Amino acid sequence: MVMDGLGDRAVEELGWKTPLQAARRPNLNWYAENGANGLVDMIGPGIRPGSDTSHLAILGYDPRKVYTGRGPFEAAGTGVVGKKGDVAFRCNFATVDKNMLVADRRAGRIKEPDTTELVTAFDHLMIDDITITVKPATEHRAVLLLQGPGLSPHITDVDPHDEANVHEAKPMSPEAAKTAKVVNEFVRLSYQKLDAHPVNQRRKREGKPVANILLPRGGGVFPDIQPFPEKYGMSGSCIAGVSLIKGICRVCGLDIIEVEGATGGKDTDMKAKARAAIEELKRKDFVLMNVKAADITSHDGDAKAKVEVIERIDAMVGELRAGLGEEVVVAFVADHCTPIEMKDHSGDPVPLMIYCKGIVKDPVKQYDEGSAGQGSLSRIRGMDILPILIDKAGRAEKYGA
Amino acid sequence: MVMDGLGDRAVEELGWKTPLQAARRPNLNWYAENGANGLVDMIGPGIRPGSDTSHLAILGYDPRKVYTGRGPFEAAGTGVVGKKGDVAFRCNFATVDKNMLVADRRAGRIKEPDTTELVTAFDHLMIDDITITVKPATEHRAVLLLQGPGLSPHITDVDPHDEANVHEAKPMSPEAAKTAKVVNEFVRLSYQKLDAHPVNQRRKREGKPVANILLPRGGGVFPDIQPFPEKYGMSGSCIAGVSLIKGICRVCGLDIIEVEGATGGKDTDMKAKARAAIEELKRKDFVLMNVKAADITSHDGDAKAKVEVIERIDAMVGELRAGLGEEVVVAFVADHCTPIEMKDHSGDPVPLMIYCKGIVKDPVKQYDEGSAGQGSLSRIRGMDILPILIDKAGRAEKYGA
């Protein structure tokens, strides 16, 4: 179970405790007291991980080898999974004027069904020998998939990330020249196809910002990833509300389990997720569950809300504790710290707890950033987690005799 | 001192303590209290080491670079040490019928002097340009050494590991074709030479299974290993009862000290070993001592026997404590955990204690799997141990000025 953005720093408003330390958390603490504890650097000490790179590490894939950008994982989150070598971008629907000056980077936070209708304008589109696929994502977001020969993700962002002129994509290396040309042509076509689109004419009448351009950014190439079931000889599933996490798990070959009410938002139905995980473990060898809510409160800078969310997570952990069988190896970890003070990810290590039958207890009695360091797991890397869990489950191969 | 298979998991029969935690161990605890403690992943977190790969790591050799299979180390254990590029296999004397169906993989656990006499059938044997050496090992086991140009260990096992038909060795890569051919010819010849052998005719009369074939498995190539005295500028010896450990140390260039009564079994004379180590350290810079007994009780799944063995090991540690001079750097470690519950090696980290004059104490007061994690050595890799000991002994080279 990955508690997104759970880790934090000491907060003045909470009497210089972390939100985790300030929260009532009897179930997390039960596991800490009865399990083995430690700290994890997802990528390395002081490296600030994204949720994407950290989840790859948790699944035992080396982000330095398989991660070139967020695009492919966002695309996979919407169900668009390319093959090795395909290039994907995240896009925003945005509002531009005739001079390509961005008036609104989110086109008034346009969402479905408008976005769903707008993307049909790109059906069956090819630019030169490259097949184009556009799919809507959450709210004003979309993904762009390029498929064909000679692609590279190494181009500059079209999205100016500000109310400025739309950038021209530039190749960052010679072999990306073709991709830059295709992307620039796609952006030009998107203005041409969207500006006059009936959906936008209606939005104009309603006084809403038009979504008359798509601005690609964060390109990445689909990696040559060994599917999880093949790599570990285990079936696996992912339970997550957030599209990016689903995307990472889908690219790694996990099955995505949809849970009613698991939105990835602060209102997500956590207990439903816990029950779904318990059920899924009857059918599968491995389940990765992501709970996003704590991260959101941190990005909002709301310490009290984070404490409340953690107390709700603890109730969910109680549900797991009651429902999981003795044979299950349980691990709790955060994918990164998101300090309230920073409103963004930090490179601080995160607390890890592992519990299973026969685990050797250590002196740690509480699950938090300050206690975990006294545990017997010491300080490990994100990529070490899965080999340890596989060994605890009695599924590891022996190296030597 | 390497306590083979010492580490474990919490055992219900011992009130959810590990055998080490359940054992009375005043001497081991004295060292823990007065030394520095930590946990060791011999290869990496969650990786289940063999005794061979872990001992290589303890001696500071990277198993990923020097280990291709158990054969060469088993061969060296019997005194057969090849040169770089020579290929060795473990073999069983077995009983087969005319159709090459294995009736008994161990030929009724045949042993010397029958095996010693049988292997003379292979004296001065060559197959093509390959020199063949066969030497008996413990009980029904033997080793096969191939010496000559163009050899590779990458062939499939001849031993079917079951009462099935003898397998034909197949090359797993093109450059192993010659080796596969030689091994298949050797197996054919072994049947021809052994089936009619006077020893087997006598065994038939006595109603014992004949040892009429040799079945190779676990091939490996002798690595290009820098001898220990050259690598570290130190003389070194090994005290071990088990042939495989002797073989590893012999390949690494340590002298093998035979101790009367040090059998490698549960009945091994531990105090004699301790006294031999104390004596040997008067002549040598480094001694690796392996005590096998705890591992055997784990493979038997006998928790109470393991506790008893650990208490005997503790008495041996008392002997060391009384007899070792102040200038000796002492380290206790296990080569891997062998949980009673698994009856096989696990990837759990093992406790390490280092004691010498001037060592900085840490809060750890007991030598066990749960306490070691609170020590100042934290969590390190097997290959880190020897550089630390060399530094504590004041023998390390400075890196920089």
| SS3 state at A117 | helix
Mean pLDDT value across chain B: 95
* Chain-chain contact of A391 with B50 (C-beta, under 8 angstroms): no
* DSSP label at residue B382: G
The predicted pLDDT at position A266 comes to 73
Q: A190: which strand partners?
A: none
Which of chain A's residues have a Cβ under 8 Å away from the Cβ of B339? 358
In A, minimum Cα distance to B350 occurs at A376
* DSSP label at residue A209: P
Top-tier CATH class for A2-67+225-392: alpha beta
Structure tokens belonging to residue A180: 């830059």
Give the pLDDT confidence of B319-333 residue by residue, as tens digits. 999 999 999 999 999
Q: How many CB atoms lie within 10 A of CB A299?
A: 14
CA-to-CA separations, A179 to A16, A131, A321, B253, in angstroms, rounded: 50, 12, 50, 57
The predicted pLDDT at position B107 comes to 95
The predicted pLDDT at position A265 comes to 73
B133 closest CA partner among B142, B141, B297: B142
Going from N- to C-terminal start, the domains of chain B cover 2-67+225-392, 74-221
Give the pLDDT confidence of B4-23 residue by residue, as tens digits. 999 999 999 999 999 999 99
Closest partner CB to B370 (pick from A360, A394, A397): A360
* DSSP label at residue B345: -
User: Read out DSSP for A342-386?
Assistant: TTS-B---EEEEEE-TTPPP-S--S-STTTGGGSTTEEEEGGGHH
The predicted pLDDT at position B296 comes to 93
| SS3 state at B42 | coil
Which of chain A's residues have a Cβ under 8 Å away from the Cβ of B49? 398-400
The pLDDT of B254-279, averaged and rounded, is: 88
* Chain-chain contact of A387 with B46 (C-beta, under 8 angstroms): yes
The separation between CA B278 and the C-alpha centre of its own chain, rounded to angstroms, equals 22
The predicted pLDDT at position A138 comes to 86
Per DSSP, helices labelled H in A19-176 are 19-22, 26-34, 51-58, 63-66, 71-77, 114-118
CA-to-CA separations, B38 to A33, A207, A365, B350, B377, in angstroms, rounded: 20, 67, 20, 8, 4
* Chain-chain contact of A398 with B54 (C-beta, under 8 angstroms): no
Segment-wise mean pLDDT, segments of 10 residues, chain A, 401 residues: 98 98 98 97 97 97 93 93 94 96 94 95 96 94 96 94 93 96 97 96 95 95 94 96 93 94 78 95 97 93 97 97 95 98 97 97 96 94 98 95 85
d(CA A250, CA A246): 6
Taking only residues 309 to 368 of chain A, the set having a beta carbon closer than 8 angstroms to any beta carbon of chain B reads 358-363
Give the pLDDT confidence of B205-224 residue by residue, as tens digits. 999 999 999 999 999 999 99
* Chain-chain contact of A379 with B374 (C-beta, under 8 angstroms): no
The separation between CA B211 and the C-alpha centre of its own chain, rounded to angstroms, equals 26
* Chain-chain contact of B45 with A388 (C-beta, under 8 angstroms): yes
Which of chain B's residues have a Cβ under 8 Å away from the Cβ of A386? 46
* Chain-chain contact of B44 with A387 (C-beta, under 8 angstroms): yes
| SS3 state at B300 | coil
Higher-pLDDT residue of B262, B27:
B27
The predicted pLDDT at position A262 comes to 77
| SS3 state at A248 | helix
d(CA A276, CA A313): 15
Interface predicted TM-score of the whole assembly (ipTM), two decimals: 0.88
d(CA B331, CA A375): 22
d(CA A206, CA A204): 5
Instruction: Record the pTM.
Output: 0.90
Residue B77, pLDDT > 80, answer yes
Mutation target for B interface from A360, A385, A392: give the one with most B CBs within 10 A.
Answer: A360
The pLDDT of B58-75, averaged and rounded, is: 94
The predicted pLDDT at position A261 comes to 81
A44 in reach of chain B (CB within 8 A): no
End-to-end CA distance of chain A: 34
| SS3 state at A320 | helix
Backbone angles phi, psi at B316, to 5 degrees: -65, -40
* Chain-chain contact of B346 with A400 (C-beta, under 8 angstroms): no
Give the pLDDT confidence of B267-300 residue by residue, as tens digits. 778 999 999 999 999 999 999 999 999 999 999 9
The conformational region for residue B339 under phi > 0 = left, psi -120 to 50 = alpha, else beta, is beta
User: Taking CA B255 as the corner, what is the angle to CA B250 and CA B258, rounded to the nearest 5 degrees?
Assistant: 100
